[in-house]
Amino acid sequence: QVQLVESGGGLVQPGGSLRLSCAASGSIFSINAMGWYRQAPGKQRELVAVITSGGSTNYADSVKGRFTISRDNAKNTVYLQMNSLKPEDTASYYCNLHYRRLAVTYDYWGQGTQVTVSS
């Protein structure tokens, strides 16, 4: 079974920075994508950023230039460096692991970590 464990959330003032980490353990196919999604109260979960095992990245327009996603394949860990945080970045942030193998799609989720941007 695959487990994703997130860390690094918290309370930060506008303009501040936070770094989220997500470590995956278990039986993981080496070719995969890991990403971060977020969900604010009353809103749908949305993609923040994703990175493939080959290093390709994709970001939501709202975070481009402020957030950076990276990963350590040897540790099956993905990071999200969040700079210039805004109150609208406040949400629960969820780590996702996605891969497809033998015509079957797998999606795993972390438990979520709260990010609150407020003065």
Q: What are phi and psi for residue 60, nearest 5 degrees?
A: -70, 145
Task: Please report where in the chains the tokens 């994508």 appear, as a residue.
Answer: 33
CB neighbours (10 Å) of residue 55? 9
pLDDT level of residue 80 (50, 70, 90 thresholds) = very high
9-25, pLDDT tens digit by residue?
999 999 999 999 999 99
pLDDT level of residue 57 (50, 70, 90 thresholds) = very high
Q: Does the pLDDT at position 31 exceed 90? A: no
pLDDT level of residue 39 (50, 70, 90 thresholds) = very high
With a CB cutoff of 8 Å and minimum separation 6, the contacts of 64 are: none
Which residue from 93, 117, 95, 90 is spatially nearest to 108, judged by alpha carbons?
95
Name the pairing type of β-strands 46-52 and 57-59.
Answer: antiparallel
Q: Does the pLDDT at position 27 exceed 90? A: no
Percent of the chain having pLDDT more than 90? 89
**Could you tell me which residues are beta bridge partners of residue 18?**
82
pLDDT level of residue 111 (50, 70, 90 thresholds) = very high
112: which 2 tokens? 């979520």
